[in-house]
Amino acid sequence: MFHPRRTLRALLLPLAAGLALTALPAQSAHAASTLTNAGFESNGTGTTTPTGWSAYSAGGQTAASFTETGGHGGSYRLTHYSASAYKVETYQYLSGLTNGNYKLTAWVRSGGGQNSAYLALKNCGGAEQRTDIPVSSSGWIRIVTPVAVTNNQCTISINSDAKAGNWINVDDLTFTSGTAGLPIKGSDVSSLAKSEAKGGVYKNSSGTTGDALAILRSAGQNYARLKVWVNPADGYNNKTRVLATAKRVKAQGMKLLVDFHYSDTWADPGAQSKPAAWAGHSYSQLKTDVYNHTYDVLNALKAQGTTADMVQVGNEINGGMLWNEGSTSNWSQLAGLLNSGYDAVKAVNSGTTVALHLAKGGDLAGTRWWFDSAVSNGVKFDVIGLSYYGYWHGTLADFQTTLDDAATRYGKPVYLAETAYPFRLDSKDSHENIIDLSGELVSGYPASTAGQTQWMKDVASIVEAVPNGRGLGIFYWESTWTAVTGNGWDPTDPSSGNGWENQALFGYDDRALPAMAWLSHR
């Protein structure tokens, strides 16, 4: 755990008054055409205005910005910290820039708790661009901020509006030509059709009832994920229902991800049960089953004009699928099943992207082992999807390390296949929520609408920062799974409840939640 160097306070306090009087607004600062002292190595410790940088605080709190030891790359870093509440900006003004697209990259850490803490690019000719600093008290996280420079200048700005004792570290900035963004901003809406059939209602943020898909689309969602079960007991999430919902998805102008579970019920790291219709089939027959089922669903989608844009061959297949034949204890057989699915996808439409999906978002070693095994066994795939739930799968820094490594090691685009976060802890129905205790939460992210929103912004920033533009985007898991009687977790039990309604993107009053704002992420 990081503890700010409080010994600096004695040195910095006498400087505060003078600096507050002399600090200038950003546009009047020292100008250069490239970043100066981007790693804060020039001045040692205790410097409020490191070479090339300026500090500003309307409240005279510039001493809350200072250099100290413990850099990300070199020996020093920039820190914002004060024992009392503070607002401070550390900035550098660049001029003489060639107009075009630029990208600021920085390594950051934060103890959290601030009213706001972010990097910004402003005075660049267009709208100010910001990236919040994720809460990470130990591991450094790389974030990016893109901007279009249209007036030959830009101000790089590091901002804190903080409570007493809050801190951030920033280091190793670069400002180079480039762009960033997230092509995919999606959510899983597999529960929607059954919810509506059982009386589920969805409202926009002002309380007007509407189509959940239209509400998500207006918030910025451009992709929807639908799971497919072979012959589920309740008749939902099967071929017929998926075809019907796919029409609605495409009518909203969204793209479609089809998630094959190859089961009659939930398939995940703890369960990969064969569909009843395939029970007792030989391995050879199972390969044919996978091909025929995959081809049948996707070809029917294509025939109705709603061709799948992406397909997951299996869901969270950490241990393989179609146990026991397709277990990771027999990689050659698992490879055959996965390639059977891949071939079926491409036979329907060669342009459909095939993804392999693990629930190992913070597990670098486990993800490497799995995909190394897949590659060595000749498994075919186009992209990598990882589930990452911060309360189960390690730190945000672990997630970034794993995601970046997968993209680089296998040379494939990556996406966050599932994530979510609670906006409250109590249940709306009688079923216990999966996350319902404060001790289960991620440090720095409260179970509130603000905490849910911040979580989504910060995981989006990590996906956006994947090197070489290989971060495709995010699917929020089950945005529409609100508490509706009869739409519980167990397809065999109509009285089962929902343990997820506190992590939906619609509140207990059925209104769209503020966290939907992440769907409009650049």
Element (H, E) at 374: helix 364-376
User: Tokens at residue 6, please?
Assistant: 């409080």
d(CA 380, CA 265): 25
Q: Which two three-digit tokens encode residue 401?
A: 């390390």
What pairing do the DSSP bridges indicate for beta strands 116-122 and 167-177?
unpaired
Q: Are 157 and 106 in contact (CB under 8 A)?
A: no
Contact 337, 322 (CB under 8 A): yes
Euclidean distance between CA atoms 482 and 505, whole angstroms: 9
Residue 478 a catalytic site member:
no
Give the integer Cα–Cα distance in Å for 200 and 417. 25
Angstrom CA distances, 504 to 255, 332, 374, 413, stand at 21, 39, 33, 27
For 297, the token pair is 């669903």
Cα–Cα dist 107/465, whole Å: 11
Asked if residues 220 and 184 have their Cβ atoms less than 8 Å apart, the reply is no
Check 41, 325, 418, 464 and give the catalytic one.
Answer: 418
Cα distance between the two ends of the chain: 32
CA atoms within 13 A on the CB side of 325: 20
| Contact call for residues 249 and 222 (beta carbons, < 8 A) | no
The answer to whether 389 and 363 are in contact (CB under 8 A) is no
**Degrees, nearest 5: CA angle 154-159-163:** 170
Read off the tokens for 330.
């027999």
The DSSP secondary-structure symbol of 433 reads P
Cis (ω within 30 of 0) for the bond into 204? no
Q: Is 41 designated active site?
A: no
Q: Is 162 exposed, middle or buried (0-12, 13-18, 19+ CB in 10 A)?
A: buried
What are 68's two structure tokens?
């100290």
Cα–Cα distance measured from residue 362 to residue 367, given in angstroms and rounded to the nearest whole number: 9
Tokens of 405: 């490594």
- Out of 68, 89, 316, 501, the active site residue is 316
CB-count exposure of residue 59 (10 Å: 0-12, 13-18, 19+): exposed
Give the span between the Cα atoms of 153 and 399, in whole angstroms: 34
Q: Are the CB atoms for 213 and 254 separated by under 8 Å?
A: yes
Residue from 502, 345, 498 nearest 426 by CA: 502
Contact call for residues 472 and 183 (beta carbons, < 8 A)? yes
Residues with catalytic annotation?
316, 418
